[in-house]
Structures are given as C-alpha cells and as structure tokens.
Amino acid sequence: MNIADLVAIDTHVHLESEVKDNAANEAALKYFGNSGAGRSPKELAEYYRSRKIGCVVFTVDERLTGRPPVPNDEVAAIAAENSDIMMAFASVDPMRGAEAVSEAKRLIKTGGIRGFKLHPPLQQFHANDKIAYPFYEVLIEAKMPVIFHTGHSGIGTGMPGGGGVRLKYGNPMDIDDVAVDFPDMKIILAHPSFPWQDEAISVCLHKPQVYIDLSGWSPKYFSPILVQYANTLLKKKMLFGSDYPLITPDRWMKDFSEAPFKDEVRPLILKENAVRLFGLT
C-alpha cells in the first residue's frame, strides 16, 4: 500500500460472489438498507482508490447461507492487482480439521495472504473449540493476524430461525480463551459486539494483542461505553472498518465525523492503528 497517500485504512471489506435470489442477501439488504455500493472487484477498487482509502479484503468460507465464497486465490489475485490500496486476508473454516490446516499452509506459502478472517456464527463453531487449535498454530507460525466476527450478525436477521445463524458463536468471551492460549496471535474482534460490548472491551483491554474493528455499525449507533474507551484506554486499539458493501466508508466516515470522538483519536482509528498493527510502515 502507498501508506503516505492514504487518508484511512478500512480493515473490513467483503468480496462477494454475484448471487441472485438468495434469502440471506435479501435479509441483509432489508436490515442494512441498500448502500448502492458496487459489488464487482473493479467497482470496489475504483471506489477505494478514488477516496484514497486502503482496505483489507476477504471472503467467508461458509456453507450456511448458500452464498458461494469467492475463492481465496481469487481474493489474493484481486488484491495483488490493486496492491496500492488492497491487502488480502483468507478465510478457511477451522472445523475442516486437517484439510483446514493444509489449506492454510498452502495459502500462506503463496505469499499473497496477509491474515485470516473467521466468522464463527456462519462457520458454526466456538472460537475456543480445540478442533481449531492446530489451525491456529499454523497462523501463529506465519505471524498471521486473525479477524473474528463477534456479536449480532446482520446476516440472517429477520429470517425464520435467523437463517440458522446461532448468535452464541459470536460471544467474544470464546476468543478470550484463544487470546490466553495463543498470546502471540494478533486478534481483531470485528464489529461492536452487541449484545456483548462490555465483554469485548474487557478482552481488548486485558489482552495486549487484541484489537477491535468498528465495522458493521454506523458510529452514530455506537454505545457510550464504546466511545468512552475508544477515546481513552483503547484509543490505540480501535480500527476503522466499514463492512462494505453493506455499509460504505462514505456513510461510516460521515457519521464518524459527527460522533463524539476526540480530535487526537480520530487519525489513530482511521489509519495509524492499522499501520502499526499490520506493520505497514
């Protein structure tokens, strides 16, 4: 990335396959509203480049919603083609056991992956399930940061049975165990972790290697305690994330500018914390 030219780094950007008539997509659009964001790789790159915003792009390796994931190798290729603004994270379902371990090793060996994205509610696992631990060992050895989805998922909201999404898998306390057992693993708790916001703040405050990305919610809906800690004790551990294409940086940053964040904290959240976390200097 051309760090000096960027005004911000968005740590939470989805690359999605074109799927029509998918109930989970329709429910998400109803929940979030139609952002109008382009979903093709070309449109995504043009959007971020025109705004001088860097981004972490990924897919989700899941089968619950019926939305086919973009292949990890394709995600890496897209990021490589747009390396001035993009870096690729891979997604592998840790519950695939030995297959997940070998796939993670293969992806890391390609050199095009900078981290991993896991989504326990969609991949249907507790982050502290020991089945996942051999997978984590591979990531530790390669010094790969990991983004874990936490909290209520907009995917499935309003669908019968929540579309099969079990919210319990989004509890950040599961990830506290992972942070204890893998103290060298850099962990990002994705999203304000409703209804476990206090828990997420506590884990982030207690464990030095844990960060929070602020994606998936407009800043005008952030809880007062989240803003309080972002302005004080956790000001160097909060990261800008949008959740594109469901929420765009345009909307997020507008609402962020109007939210009660301290002026000296804003550049940390928008860019500087991510630069330090990802070693982009």
Instruction: Give the tens place of pLDDT for each residue, 119-147.
Output: 999 999 999 999 999 999 999 999 999 99
pLDDT for the residue 74: 97
Q: Is 20 helix (H, G, I), strand (E, B) or coil?
A: coil
Instruction: Give the tens place of pLDDT for each residue, 189-223.
Output: 999 999 999 999 999 999 999 999 999 999 999 99
Rounded to whole angstroms, what are the CA distances from 63 to 108, 142, 254? 23, 27, 34
pLDDT for the residue 28: 78
Q: What is the mean pLDDT of residues 165-177?
A: 98
What percent of the chain shows pLDDT beyond 70? 99
pLDDT for the residue 143: 97
Count of C-beta atoms within a 10 Å radius of residue 155: 25
Q: Does 93 score more than 90 pLDDT?
A: yes
Task: Determine phi and psi for 153, rounding to 5 degrees.
Answer: -105, 125
Choice between 135 and 23, residue whose per-residue pLDDT is larger: 135
Instruction: Give the tens place of pLDDT for each residue, 31-89.
Output: 787 777 777 999 999 999 999 999 999 999 999 998 889 999 999 999 999 999 999 99
What percent of the chain shows pLDDT beyond 90? 88
d(CA 90, CA 77): 12
Cα atoms found within 13 Å of the Cα of residue 263, Cβ hemisphere only: 0
pLDDT for the residue 114: 97
Instruction: Give the tens place of pLDDT for each residue, 238-275.
Output: 999 999 999 999 999 999 999 999 999 999 999 999 99
Res. 23 pLDDT band, cuts 50 70 90: confident
d(CA 135, CA 98): 8
Domain architecture of the chain: domains with CATH: 3-278 (3.20.20.140)
Q: Where are the beta strands (DSSP E) in the chain?
A: 8-14, 53-58, 86-90, 115-118, 146-149, 187-190, 210-213, 238-239
